[in-house]
Chain A
Amino acid sequence: EAGVAQSPRYKIIEKRQSVAFWCNPISGHATLYWYQQILGQGPKLLIQFQNNGVVDDSQLPKDRFSAERLKGVDSTLKIQPAKLEDSAVYLCASSLGGTRGKETQYFGPGTRLLVL
């Protein structure tokens, strides 16, 4: 079974530029998550989708970050404009979308973003 796919793996941009990340979850997984992991910290949830609807985006800086999950499968996360503090690894995860609170999330390899 294929895992969670993410691209690109690495991205370097200058501040105020825009960037987009792509995620393809495990087949059949209804729930998709985007996490931000800053160096030396644990992953922090940015947004959670159930199919193509948003479940939680309370931690998403909506003035510059946006995410969508068209057709309930692939998802893109966009930052516009980027700031220096956005330098981090962006992780996508997916889960089956069954019993709440007992779901194992499976992570992709992440996209490492460096903002100069």
Chain B
Amino acid sequence: DQQVKQNSPSLSVQEGRISILNCDYTNSMFDYFLWYKKYPAEGPTFLISISSIKDKNEDGRFTVFLNKSAKHLSLHIVPSQPGDSAVYFCAASALTGANNLFFGTGTRLTVIP
């Protein structure tokens, strides 16, 4: 049972434009959400996180939005750069749990120069 879902396997965006990656979850116990970026032959790299007490968190070009009622979060990258081309994983954990991360299947972002 996939508790975290990324329904878009791939996304292509022009350099300088906004990239929007989406993620949905089903477990209402999830209270902490993260985005990881993964380049080929490397492990996932932490990008940005958000706690359920917030609806937005911003770090430079990256902003994560959380809509708890819809069980939906999104990652916005503005402006997109060719170096952002990677696979992006959404992950979630429950505050009452053992910090287990549940990952989505990933979205491959390609930023076209």
Interface residues of A (CB under 8 A from B): 4, 6, 31, 33, 40-45, 48, 55-56, 91, 93, 95, 100-110
Which residues of A are found within 8 Å of B84, using beta-carbon distances?
none
Known pairs A41-B105, A42-B105, A43-B89; A100 contacts B97 (CB<8 A) = yes
Complex CA–CA separation, A31 to B101 (angstroms): 13
Given A95-B99, A102-B32, 15 additional A-B pairs, CB 8 A: A31-B99, A42-B91, A42-B104, A43-B89, A45-B102, A55-B98, A91-B44, A100-B96, A100-B98, A104-B46, A105-B101, A106-B46, A107-B44, A108-B43, A110-B42
Are B103 and A40 closer than 8 Å at their CB atoms?
A: no
Q: How far is the CB of A19 from chain B (nearest CB, A)?
A: 19
Q: How far is the CB of A100 from chain B (nearest CB, A)?
A: 6
Q: Are A102 and B95 in contact (CB under 8 A)?
A: yes
Q: Report Cα–Cα, A52/B27, bound state, in Å.
A: 29
Distance, CA A110 to CA B45, complexed state (A): 12
Cα-based distance from A93 to B38 in the complex (angstroms): 14
Asked whether A109 and B100 contact (CB < 8 A) given A102-B32, A102-B95, A104-B49, the answer is no
* Closest chain B residue, CB of each to CB of A59: B100
* Contact residues in A for B104 (Cβ distance below 8 Å): 42
Find out whether the CB atom of B101 lies under 8 angstroms from the CB atom of A91. Answer: no
Q: From the candidates A31, A43, A101, name the one contacting B94 in the complex (CB within 8 A).
A: A101
State how many angstroms separate the Cβ of A102 from the closest Cβ of chain B: 6
B105 near A48 (CB under 8 angstroms)?
no
What 1/0 mask marks residues of chain B from 21 to 38 whose CB sits below 8 Å from any chain A CB? 000000000011010100
Q: Does B81 contact A (CB under 8 A)?
A: no
Query: Does chain A have a CB within 8 A of B93?
Result: yes
CB distance from A33 to the nearest CB of B (A): 8
Interface centre among B51, B98, B99, B104, by most A CB within 10 Å? B99
* Of the residues A31, A44, A48, A101, contact of B103 by C-beta under 8 Å: A44
